[in-house]
Amino acid sequence: MASEREVKNRLRGVHKTRQITSAMKMVATIKLRHAQAALANARPYAEKMRALAAEIFSQVEDRPDDVPFLARRNQAKLLFVVIASDRGLCGSLNANVFREVLQAVDEASRGGANASKPQIELLLVGRKAKDFFRARQNNHSEGLPYRVREARGFAGLNGVRLGKECCELFCKGEFDRVDFFYNESVSSLQHRPARLKLLPFDVSLIRKEGVKARANVIFEPSGAAMLEDVIGEYIASWIWKIVLEADVTEQAARMLMMDLATKNADELIMDMRLAMNKLRQLSITLELADITTGAEAVG
């Protein structure tokens, strides 16, 4: 059984750990409020771009063949963009996204019986994504069904620039499909891994809005001519919103984990105080027994 001094030293260490987790919870709470404010400020622009795209699509009866974002090609070269965090201590936030990515890679690699395996490249955002997939490359000497194209940090990431970069790669024909993997915010404290099939652009996502063509709207140039620019801006605003949403989920998950860690530390402190009090009572009882035995021997 541990001595009273050992329990006291352990209790002091748990106290220090609780102070750290409590401070990290406060920092994550403040960052969460800032991230939620940034996401709320970005939503009006994204909704306006969505409404504008729906308005223009309502004016176009047939899909134009010269719009590169709508081109349907053989799925020979795939780009998977993985958005994770730079830091840990956020529970299973990153692990859920990585599991979704590996499942998508397996499904794409299997393909059909006569279909050739596509070339899969990963664009990693966040240090945790870089560490995870680089570690898999080092542990698998026989080769993997994907290749890491690039890894960059999440801090300072420009979502609009990332969206335009992916659009440019698709329009140049370097990739036949672009998918995004990220954490979607369900509520202020809940999240789930999500997969967005970004390119080629699915027109049904816009036409589901049910926007009817208005007779008093005149497009100059025509709606078909504006589709390429509008779709590009809409995709950029969409990715911008996804990056902000990923930041919200990271801070919310870290705040929740630090809150749980602080509560666990409180429970551990109570248990250790109880154990220390029992040891102290035991030592007092032993001392009283020694005094009583000595008094009886003298008397």
Nearest alpha-carbon partner for 31 in 265, 244, 193:
244
Residue appearing with tokens 């990585």: 98
The answer on pLDDT for 110 being more than 80 is no
CB 91 within 8 A of CB 257: yes
**In the chain, pLDDT over 70 holds for what percent of residues?**
85
Nearest alpha-carbon partner for 177 in 166, 190, 193:
166
Question: Degrees (nearest 5) of the Cα angle 176, 179, 181?
Answer: 160
pLDDT at residue 260, rounded to an integer: 92
Cis peptide before 145 (omega within 30 of 0): no
Confidence of residue 27 (pLDDT cuts 50, 70, 90): very high
Other Cβ atoms less than 10 A from the Cβ of 201: the count is 23
Residue type, 229: D
User: Number of helices (H) and strands (E), helices first, in the chain?
Assistant: 6, 5
Q: What is the value of pTM for the model shown? A: 0.80
The answer on pLDDT for 113 being more than 90 is no
Question: Degrees (nearest 5) of the Cα angle 233, 198, 73?
Answer: 110
The answer on pLDDT for 212 being more than 60 is no
pLDDT at residue 107, rounded to an integer: 84
Instruction: Evaluate the CA torsion angle 262, 266, 268, 272 in order and state its sign.
Output: positive
pLDDT at residue 20, rounded to an integer: 92
CB 74 within 8 A of CB 258: no
The partner residues of 197 in beta bridges, in order of sequence, read 179
Nearest alpha-carbon partner for 79 in 122, 110, 130:
122
CA 218: distance to chain centroid? 41
Nearest alpha-carbon partner for 146 in 200, 108, 195:
108
- Mean pLDDT for 196-205 is 78
CATH architecture type of domain 22-253: 3-Layer(aba) Sandwich (3.40)
CB 180 within 8 A of CB 239: yes
d(Cα 104, Cα 232) in Å, to the nearest integer? 25
Residue appearing with tokens 């429970």: 267
* Average confidence score pLDDT of the chain: 81
The answer on pLDDT for 26 being more than 90 is yes
DSSP state of 90: S
E strand or H helix at 77: strand 77-83
Where are the strands (E) in the chain, listed by range?
77-83, 119-125, 146-152, 177-185, 191-199
Residue type, 101: V
CB 247 within 8 A of CB 153: no
- Mean pLDDT for 244-266 is 90
E strand or H helix at 120: strand 119-125
pLDDT at residue 223, rounded to an integer: 61
CB 102 within 8 A of CB 62: no
Instruction: Evaluate the CA torsion angle 196, 201, 206, 207 in order and state its sign.
Output: negative
